[in-house]
Amino acid sequence: MEHKPNPTDAPRHAGRHLAPECTLFDALSCLLTRGLSAIPVGEAGNGQKILSAAALVKAWQAGLPGETPLSALDLETADTALPEAPGAETLINGLPLLLWMKDRQGRFLLVNQSFAESCGHSAPQSVLGKTDLDLWPREQAELYRAQDADVMDSGRPRTMIEEIIDKGIPAWFETYKAPVRSADGRILGTLGFACNISERMRQEASARHDKTPLAYVLATIGEGVWDRDLLSDQVSHNPRWCEMLGLDERYLAHPATTSLTLVHPDDRARLSRIIDTCLCGGGAFCCEYRIRHADGHYLWVRDRGDVVELDEHGQPLRMVGSIADITLARETAAALQESQNRYQQVFDNVREVIFQTDTLGHWELLNPAWTEISGFSVEESLGRSFGDFLHPDDRPHKYRAFKPIIARTLPHCSATLRLRCHDGSYRWMDIFIRAQLNEAGEVIGTSGTLNDVTARVAAEDYLRLTASVFRHAHEGIIITDPHSRILEVNDSFCVLTGYAREDVIGQNTRILRSGVHEPAFYEQMWTELRSTGTWQGETWNRKKSGELYAQLGNISAVRNEAGQTTHYVGLFTDITDLKESQRHLEHLAYHDVLTQLPNRSLLADRMQMALAQAERNNTLAAVAYLDLDGFKPVNDRLGHDVGDLLLVEIARRLQASTRAGDTVARLGGDEFALIYNGLEHSDECEQVFARLLASIAEPVVIDSLELRVTASVGVTLCPLDGSDPDTLLSHADRAMYLAKQAGRNCFHLFNPERDRALRAHRDAQTRVESALYGGELELHYQPKLDTRSNHLTGVEALIRWKHPQLGLRMPGEFLPMVSESRFEIELGNWVLATAVAQLDSWCQAGFATPMSVNISARHLAHPGFVPHLKAVLDAHPQVDAGLLQLEVLETTTLGDLQRIAAIMAECNRLGVSFAIDDFGIGFGAVNSLRSLPVRSIKIDRSFIHNMLDDDDDLATVQGVISLAAAFHREVIAEGVETPRHCQALLKLGCHQVQGHGIARPMPAAHMQVWMQEHARRH
């Protein structure tokens, strides 16, 4: 709802008194803007009244509406009025209003305490200088800004009824906005008041409902008003509601569901939730949504409403509200925001610096390009002038350049000056500056741009330098148009080619061509020039005399701003002598001096080519390593001169035995390498190398001496070998040594599969070594029991590998990798030392249990075994050597029994006993028991596993037990899995058992816990 001022609104208080028909709003505006404490009301005379600030405050406090005329007040006459009435301070903070004043830019200049609290601030000072955009949501703020603009544009006050969030609570307010004028009548801003009329609105609505037919009331209100009877669920509207939506009078009253069908489908659920919240006691609501016009398009509306009537139980009976068309406001706000965004994007993203200064030249505005170019932040630069950042030598030039603006002889000017950057460097800047004038034509500041032209200045300097270089350069320089017509040459060009300047100007560069290069060479050169703008390379050209010369050239395209080529510039150096020297040096670098064969360096390139050719043509290439047999005696007996001549002849024969495309290279001494390309099958090697060996074996006559040598040749085939050139040559070298071992004067073909298997085995062995050094190997322990008493009779130490990726690995997975290697001895020593150290630890803890340790055949037979065993026992003097038993495989004892028996006897003298492990799988069991000083035998787990189901295995077990009894040896069954195995073995006379049926191997700490618990149970 809005007050529309009539033509007489402005003059009613334009003089020094107010007319009686002026409203309370008019009076408040007049007192505040003029700074008065009181003002006459009516024409001068006996009947003139006085309106004081105190009287105005009382009227507001009495709840009178802002539209109440002054004639309705009981005012004092001029004679009876108090001489000292409260002034503006009383009006600002004493009235029950929200009060504010803004300048033309919308900044708050004055607010009272009520206004500050309504927008969430504790004091008015915290609001000053802010705008509506800082206090309210953008859409609401843009509406307020549009209302202010309307008041300032029309120069007339405006009154409206609207909903405002007061201290976080929605409420209905009667708002008055008026222009603020200066003494000369100019509009300086706006003054506004807002009075909370929520209670009055509810009372008026109730009164209208009780006393006046709704149709007459709704017809007088400017916004679309609705009244919903919750009992009948019927909604009534004023005519404005129908006009807003283009509906006829049939829609003045209808069911509530009809209104909801007009709402945009995407907004219905949200609107329904908001209305339900209001009905449930949530208070007044304000909602913006889209509603369909009769012609089908949608309007944006702001809907405000509340429950205005309850029954005796507090249940809502009636709701009243209004909708306002805010489509234009939303579109205007969106357009303003889009315009602002576009301007801000341009301002933020242009590469040129945009600035504004005050009259003293101090910067008031800078865009981000300033920071990108100078390194100084915008914040630290505002308030300073361009002169503060200039090179000291350029400051006088700046004053001369800007003088026309200061003198007002020119509206703008420009200059190129050096700017000091944050890092201390300087950049050249083009500055354009224009004076900013006010309405009176006075300079109020400047605006302009700064453009970084450092590159341009450098280019200009470069061009000046280039001109000097062109005249004095030792290189020949030629400039052509895009069609290769010569436009300019320098003196060095004339000296190089023999042509005078006038001979070539206007000629095509083709006059220099030698005919050495194919047309494709020039096509490729021009293709690269057109695509990249540059070309660099070597060419052979022809002088005026017809003589050929080599030149190193660099051609560059010169392009205009549109990217079109305007010229070509070429620089050329005569490298004829250099090419000849280079050719000679390359030959020396890639060929053997004695035989003129390719050397190792050239051989590597040829091998790469051979590999590529073999893969491309799906053929084989043979790489051969050849070493002469019997050359050294010839060289030692007849001297190096004869030896050199022999090598030259052998080189000739090798070349004669190869085809075009094959390679013969000398590696050094009497060693050669050969590459045979295009082989279809490996069988061809037999014929090729048989001919080669026969050719070498033929006599060589030097100085009437007949000399004979042969050759050993190693051969590998690629890509079957699948290795790089260095590895291929290494493989051929290995095969050559096998040929020598085979009797010489033959060739041997390398076997990649066998070599790969050997390498894999070596890698695996190395990994086990690193596992030991890295602490990944450890010993686990498995207990042995006497099934008669269930007492612990000992433990066996078993090696395990805690692999970081594969987890716990068993001995059979890695011990074969180190078998028969030097590391096997080192690993066995570690196992023995670790086991005895653990036995010592357990003895000190009160668990002196016998321990058996597995020893390999090589370890036992090693000369250092017994000394190492003694050193280990000496390192642990508290350990009874009788607790240590060494287990050896039965197959280990099948070798030199006498030597093995002697070693065992030495160990027995130290107190250490032996057991034969896996007894029964060998063929010398009786002989071993008769000859070797062993205490125990262990029946192999394979027999124990099947003895309950396999009669043969049962008979074997029974035989071993009987054999042990005959030779007075202890017998232990390993691999016992179940109680049935224990019972069967006990019946057969074997009471010592070991296996998963007793306990699995476990780490030392777990083993000690197991021993403690077993002792406690038994």
Residue 159 has pLDDT above 50, yes or no: yes
**What whole-number distance in Å separates Cα of residue 505 and Cα of residue 480?**
9
The full DSSP string for 670-705 is TEEEEEEEEES-TTHHHHHHHHHHHHHHS-EEETTE
Query: Average model confidence (pLDDT) for the chain?
Result: 86
pLDDT digits (tens, 9 = 90+) for 626-659: 999 999 889 888 999 999 999 999 999 999 988 8
**What whole-number distance in Å separates Cα of residue 975 and Cα of residue 987?**
17
Give the residue-averaged pLDDT of 316-328: 91
pLDDT digits (tens, 9 = 90+) for 836-890: 999 999 999 999 999 999 998 889 989 999 999 999 999 999 999 999 999 998 6
The confidence score (pLDDT) of residue 386 equals: 85
Only one residue has tokens 């080189």, namely 651
Instruction: Give the residue from 818, 803, 811, 815 showing the smallest Cα distance to 780.
Output: 811
Residue 922 has pLDDT above 80, yes or no: no
Residue 834 has pLDDT above 90, yes or no: yes
The confidence score (pLDDT) of residue 895 equals: 59
Q: Kindly indicate the confidence band of residue 508, based on its pLDDT and cuts at 50, 70 and 90.
A: very high
CB 693 within 8 A of CB 746: yes
The confidence score (pLDDT) of residue 935 equals: 92
Residue 906 has pLDDT above 50, yes or no: yes
Residues forming a β-bridge with 253? 236
Q: Kindly indicate the confidence band of residue 338, based on its pLDDT and cuts at 50, 70 and 90.
A: confident
More confident call, 670 vs 159: 670
Least confident of 44-58, 323-337, 350-364, 729-743: 44-58
More confident call, 96 vs 1014: 1014
Give the residue-averaged pLDDT of 696-712: 92
Residue 216 has pLDDT above 60, yes or no: no
Least confident of 63-72, 344-353, 827-836, 978-987: 63-72
Residues forming a β-bridge with 194? 98, 175
Residues forming a β-bridge with 476? 572
Give the residue-averaged pLDDT of 769-781: 93
The confidence score (pLDDT) of residue 924 equals: 47
The confidence score (pLDDT) of residue 335 equals: 82
The confidence score (pLDDT) of residue 420 equals: 92
The confidence score (pLDDT) of residue 463 equals: 80
The confidence score (pLDDT) of residue 585 equals: 80
Least confident of 1-5, 358-362, 808-812: 1-5
Residue 217 has pLDDT above 60, yes or no: no
Q: Kindly indicate the confidence band of residue 8, based on its pLDDT and cuts at 50, 70 and 90.
A: very low
The confidence score (pLDDT) of residue 1005 equals: 94
**What whole-number distance in Å separates Cα of residue 280 and Cα of residue 770?**
78
- For residue 250 the two structure tokens come to 């049939």
Residue 516 has pLDDT above 50, yes or no: yes
Element (H, E) at 433: strand 426-437
Q: Kindly indicate the confidence band of residue 745, based on its pLDDT and cuts at 50, 70 and 90.
A: very high
Residue 447 has pLDDT above 50, yes or no: yes
CB 961 within 8 A of CB 990: yes
Q: Kindly indicate the confidence band of residue 9, based on its pLDDT and cuts at 50, 70 and 90.
A: very low
Least confident of 397-406, 736-745, 900-909: 397-406
Q: What is each CA distance from 735 to 626, 664, 687, in whole angstroms? A: 10, 18, 18
Residue 465 has pLDDT above 90, yes or no: no
CB 506 within 8 A of CB 486: yes
Q: What is each CA distance from 613 to 296, 621, 664, 677, in whole angstroms? A: 77, 9, 17, 8
More confident call, 605 vs 583: 605
Angle (CA) 42-48-53 rounded to 5° is 80
Three state DSSP letters for 512-560? HECCCCCHHHHHHHHHHHHHHCEEEEEEEEECCCCCEEEEEEEEEEEEC
pLDDT digits (tens, 9 = 90+) for 28-70: 777 776 667 778 888 877 778 888 777 777 776 676 777 788 8
Q: Kindly indicate the confidence band of residue 411, based on its pLDDT and cuts at 50, 70 and 90.
A: confident
- Top-confidence range, 41-45, 470-474, 640-644, 681-685: 640-644
**% of residues, the chain, pLDDT over 70:** 91
CB 3 within 8 A of CB 151: no
pLDDT digits (tens, 9 = 90+) for 83-135: 444 455 656 666 778 888 888 898 887 888 888 888 888 888 888 888 999 98
pLDDT digits (tens, 9 = 90+) for 287-301: 999 999 999 999 999
Q: Which DSSP letter does residue 183 get?
A: T
pLDDT digits (tens, 9 = 90+) for 167-211: 667 778 888 888 888 767 788 888 888 888 877 777 666 655 554
The confidence score (pLDDT) of residue 14 equals: 43
Torsion of CA 717, 722, 725, 729, to 10 degrees: -50
Residue 794 has pLDDT above 90, yes or no: yes
Do strands 992-994 and 285-292 pair parallel, antiparallel, or not at all (unpaired)?
A: unpaired
Give the residue-averaged pLDDT of 573-593: 84
More confident call, 685 vs 851: 851
Distance of CA 931 to the CA centre of its chain: 74
**% of residues, the chain, pLDDT over 90:** 44
Do strands 353-357 and 316-325 pair parallel, antiparallel, or not at all (unpaired)?
A: unpaired
Neighbours of 98 (CB within 10 A): 23
CB 657 within 8 A of CB 711: no
pLDDT digits (tens, 9 = 90+) for 517-535: 999 999 999 999 999 999 9
**What whole-number distance in Å separates Cα of residue 849 and Cα of residue 783?**
10
